[in-house]
């Protein structure tokens, strides 16, 4: 029995007390946003009564109420407990550490594919100087170092000491790589220091994306290029029979979890404002068909709990949302944009 079935919904609303047919459908509508068809409700009532899970009460005027039997109460409790156990097994409850989360993402096929596209779009040449902004645990440094060859230089900057420790361990033996702790809102480099710059899911988190882009424009030479890989969290779509719950989850992610949730679509405009020209905007769609894989990226359970606390879900809505995701089939998607921008070759000294 599935929690989105007419039978399960009927049991669920009768848990609060006896109801007649119209009252049952009204309660289901409040719960799910949609009423059951007349045939669906009458069929569910007949099947539940035949199973001994509900029983008719005395006629009250023209209304015939139903109530749960003891067996019906036990069945509902077992079903909810079973759903909770499955959710516990499927979904992570603890927030992963930042380094571990970045490493996990980097190992996915989707991230590996768009990272390769980003390196190709940078069009790095041997001997050039490349800046990796928010380099994190150094996921991209080796590929950039290979592109510049030992005759070039790769500079990674990040605000996290733990991230940089991991990046140093990964770039041992790559003398062309230098690492520095710092704030990308105020880059510690002279004007025109770099030929290429790269960000990967960094600007979505910063306090001032426009300010960061102005700084990148300052440190790039005329003819320099910046490639940004940034998601647009408002494109997150998770299939669920109750569309309003999927939309609520996406709003919560875009409005509360990610600081700049629509940064992917905004990158080109912000770059133009900072003095770049836009060469290309490449949408890359990630599709998840496995709930465990999606949970590792989206944090389905823990972010659902946060959504309840923030008022995007009621507790019963969160329970139904997660219950359906555990039962499948599962499908979710989101769009990341690779935005390729250049400093005009004829650009004069940066004047801010």
Q: Quick check: 57 and 66 in contact, CB under 8 A?
A: yes
- The mean predicted confidence, pLDDT, of the chain is 88
Nearest to 344 by CA among 281, 278, 282: 278
The predicted pLDDT at position 351 comes to 65
The predicted pLDDT at position 39 comes to 80
Q: What percent of the chain has pLDDT over 90?
A: 59
pTM of the full structure: 0.73
Residue range 176-185: average pLDDT? Answer: 97
Q: Which residue has the higher pLDDT, 99 or 222?
A: 222
Out of 41-45, 174-178, 201-205, 229-233, which region has the weakest mean confidence (pLDDT)?
A: 41-45
The predicted pLDDT at position 87 comes to 43
Alpha-carbon distances, residue 56 vs 10, 19, 70, 141 (angstroms): 14, 10, 13, 69
The predicted pLDDT at position 80 comes to 62
Residue range 24-34: average pLDDT? Answer: 75
pLDDT of residue 34 exceeding 80: no
pLDDT band at 82 (very low <50, low <70, confident <90, very high): low
Out of 163-172, 208-217, 291-300, which region has the weakest mean confidence (pLDDT)?
A: 291-300
Strand locations in the chain (E): 54-56, 66-68, 129-133, 153-158, 177-181, 194-200, 220-238, 277-288, 332-342
Q: Quick check: 20 and 66 in contact, CB under 8 A?
A: yes
Cα gap 235→262, rounded to integer Å? 9
The residues with which 285 forms a beta bridge, in sequence order, are: 335
The predicted pLDDT at position 3 comes to 37
Cα gap 27→21, rounded to integer Å? 10
pLDDT band at 105 (very low <50, low <70, confident <90, very high): confident
Alpha-carbon distances, residue 302 vs 88, 253, 308 (angstroms): 11, 11, 10
- Domains of the chain, start order: 6-90 (1.10.10.10), 98-342 (3.40.50.150)
pLDDT of residue 1 exceeding 50: no
Q: What percent of the chain has pLDDT over 70?
A: 90
């Amino acid at each position: 029995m599935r929690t989105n079935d007419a039978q399960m919904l009927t049991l669920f609303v009768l848990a609060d007390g006896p109801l007649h047919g119209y009252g049952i459908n009204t309660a289901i509508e409040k719960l799910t946003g949609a009423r059951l068809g007349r045939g669906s409700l009458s069929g569910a009532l007949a099947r539940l009564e035949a199973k001994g899970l509900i029983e008719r009460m005395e006629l009250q005027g023209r209304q015939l109420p139903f109530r749960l039997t003891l067996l019906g109460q036990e069945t509902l409790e077992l079903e909810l407990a079973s759903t909770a156990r499955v959710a516990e097994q499927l979904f992570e409850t603890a927030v992963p550490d930042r380094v571990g989360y970045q490493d996990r993402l980097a190992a996915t096929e989707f991230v590996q594919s768009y990272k390769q596209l980003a390196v190709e779009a940078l069009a790095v040449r041997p001997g050039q100087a490349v800046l990796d902004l928010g380099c994190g645990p150094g996921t991209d440094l080796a590929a950039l170092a290979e592109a510049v060859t030992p005759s070039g230089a790769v500079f990674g900057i990040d605000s996290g000491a733990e991230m940089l420790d991991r990046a140093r361990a990964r770039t041992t033996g790559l003398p062309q790589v230098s690492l520095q702790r710092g704030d990308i809102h105020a880059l510690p480099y002279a004007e025109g220091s770099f030929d290429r710059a790269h960000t990967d899911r960094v600007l979505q988190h910063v306090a001032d994306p426009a300010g960061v882009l102005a700084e990148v424009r300052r440190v790039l030479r005329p003819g320099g290029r910046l490639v940004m890989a940034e998601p647009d969290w408002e494109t997150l779509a998770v299939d669920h029979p109750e569309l309003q719950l999927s939309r609520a989850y996406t709003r919560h992610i875009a409005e509360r979890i990610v600081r700049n949730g629509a940064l992917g679509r905004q990158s080109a405009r912000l770059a133009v404002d900072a003095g770049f020209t836009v060469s290309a905007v490449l949408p890359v769609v990630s599709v998840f068909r496995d709930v465990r894989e999606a949970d590792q990226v989206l944090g389905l359970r823990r972010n659902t709990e946060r959504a309840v606390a923030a008022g995007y879900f009621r507790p019963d809505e969160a329970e139904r949302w997660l219950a359906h995701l555990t039962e499948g089939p599962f499908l979710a998607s989101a769009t990341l944009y690779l935005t390729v921008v250049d400093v005009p070759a004829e650009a004069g000294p940066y004047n801010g």
